[in-house]
Amino acid sequence: MNDFAVDVQGLSKWYGNLKAVDNVSFQVHKGSSFGLLGLNGAGKTTTFKMMVSLIRPDSGTAIISGYDVVKAPMKVRSHIGYVAENPAFYTRKTTLETLRYVCRLLDVPINDQNRRIDYVLGLVGLTDKKNALVGGYSRGMRHRLGLAQALLSEPQVLFLDEPTLGLDPLGAKSMRELILRLRQEKEVTVLMSSHVLPEVEAICDMVGIFDHGHLVALDTIDHLRSTASNSLNIEMVMAEPDQQVAQALRLLPGVNQVEVSGAKLDINAIKNEDLRPRIMKEAVANNANVLSFGLKENSLEDILLHLVASDASDLPEQRSGLIPTSLFRLIQNNRRD
Ligand SMILES: Nc1ncnc2c1ncn2[C@@H]1O[C@H](COP(=O)(O)OP(=O)(O)O)[C@@H](O)[C@H]1O
Ligand SMILES: [Mg+2]
């Protein structure tokens, strides 16, 4: 067996005339974590469902923990845990009944069921809800129960589709901590999709960015961030609005653009030379009262929004400053339409 927990090659899925997932390929090393990012409708959930053998790919292969999702779906299911986008349960069952039911579905040996159930309930913090009806659960508790049932198989690979969707900040934080703990203690491979980009940054080593069914970027977050732009963004806040300073900075060689919002200037400058000292000097020479001055990091959000094109035709020139060549190649290879 190779070192990959997940090996997806050329995966595609049609819904009627819509190609929801188009020729997607990626690999995830055992023990690492991979984030699927993309706007609504990008194809993340469909990709998840194919990887967990809930729907059949129209073409391509997905090998999960060494098993082919089409040829050995039951093997795949017994090695993974899956938390769906909106985990749904029988509302009239108790927590314990729900987990016993899942144990039966998973063929967990009868004499091991209680141990596993106690263990997963302890992990997700629902031990004291063992006899509570699931119908009375809050959304946060349903997510926890979703994770508990996914862990019953003692999975090697965990698939989490939007694990914090709809949770309040506290619920989201504790879910994040739980996922990180599972990674560290159990060495499970984690695949998760999310809109919450800092969360993906906190958990994932690698990300795949999906757009209209295509995988348009596959990279580490650090690398994406450092290469996603050929320019630097600098933010300068002055004590009061001052158009003259903005105008003076626009004339500096290497400064591409200066946007004014009240007393704040957003300065875009070339990257190959650090122009900050020169910009600062020029501002002071123009009597600017500078309150703060600093580099603005590309947020993953900026990167995501710049990478996902609403239309393949708007990719080249106007975006070329934003997408590194390696990503461009990937985008072009993946765009067959
Ligand atoms: N069961 C389905 N039948 C028809 N179209 C679907 C179905 N599921 C998803 N789609 C469509 O496929 C595309 C990808 O959806 P999805 O995989 O859910 O994206 P994401 O999870 O990234 O939001 C969307 O355009 C969606 O409307
Ligand atoms: Mg989805």
The string of DSSP letters for 163-217 reads TTTT--HHHHHHHHHHHHHHHHHH--EEEEEES-HHHHHHH-SEEEEEETTEEEE
Ligand closest to Cα of 24 equals 1
Evaluate whether 96 touches 44 at the Cβ level (below 8 Å).
Answer: no
User: What pLDDT tens digit does each residue of the chain (337 aa) get?
Assistant: 568 999 999 999 999 999 999 999 999 999 999 999 988 899 999 999 999 999 999 999 999 999 999 999 999 998 999 999 888 899 999 999 999 999 998 889 999 999 999 999 998 999 999 999 999 999 889 999 999 999 999 999 999 999 988 888 888 888 899 899 888 888 899 999 987 777 888 899 999 999 899 998 898 887 877 776 778 889 999 999 999 999 999 999 999 999 999 999 999 999 888 899 999 999 999 999 999 999 887 666 677 776 765 444 443 333 333 333 334 334 444 443 3
Q: What is the pLDDT of residue 230?
A: 73
Taking the model in full, what pTM does it have? 0.78
Q: Quick one: which atom of ligand 1 is closest to the CA of 85?
A: 21
Q: Residue whose CA is closest, atom 9 of ligand 1? A: 46
Q: How far is the CA of 85 from the centre of ligand 2 (A)?
A: 6
User: 12-36: buried (b, 16+ CB within 10 Å) or exposed (e) per residue?
Assistant: bbeeeeebbbbbbbbbbebebbbbb
CA of 13 to the centre of ligand 1 (A): 10
Q: Give the position, in ligand 1's atom list, of the atom nearest the Cα of 48.
A: 17
Distance between CA atoms of residues 288 and 238, nearest Å: 7
| pLDDT on residue 170 | 86
Which of 12, 14, 15 most suits a substitution to test ligand 1, by most atoms within 8 Å of the C-beta?
15
Ligand 1 binding pocket mutation candidate from 12, 14, 17, 18 (most atoms within 8 A of CB): 18
Q: Where are the alpha helices (DSSP H) in 187-324?
A: 197-203, 221-227, 243-250, 276-285, 300-307, 316-319
Ligand 1 cavity residues, CB under 6 Å = 15, 18, 20, 38, 40-46
Work out which ligand 1 atom sits closest to the CA atom of 210.
Answer: 22
State the pLDDT at residue 323. Answer: 38
Give residue 249 CA to ligand 1 midpoint distance, Å.
47
Give the position, in ligand 1's atom list, of the atom nearest the Cα of 213.
Answer: 14
How confident is the model at residue 131, as a pLDDT? 96
Q: Please state the atom number of ligand 1 nearest to the C-alpha of residue 162.
A: 21
Q: Which ligand has the nearest atom to the CA of 86? A: 2
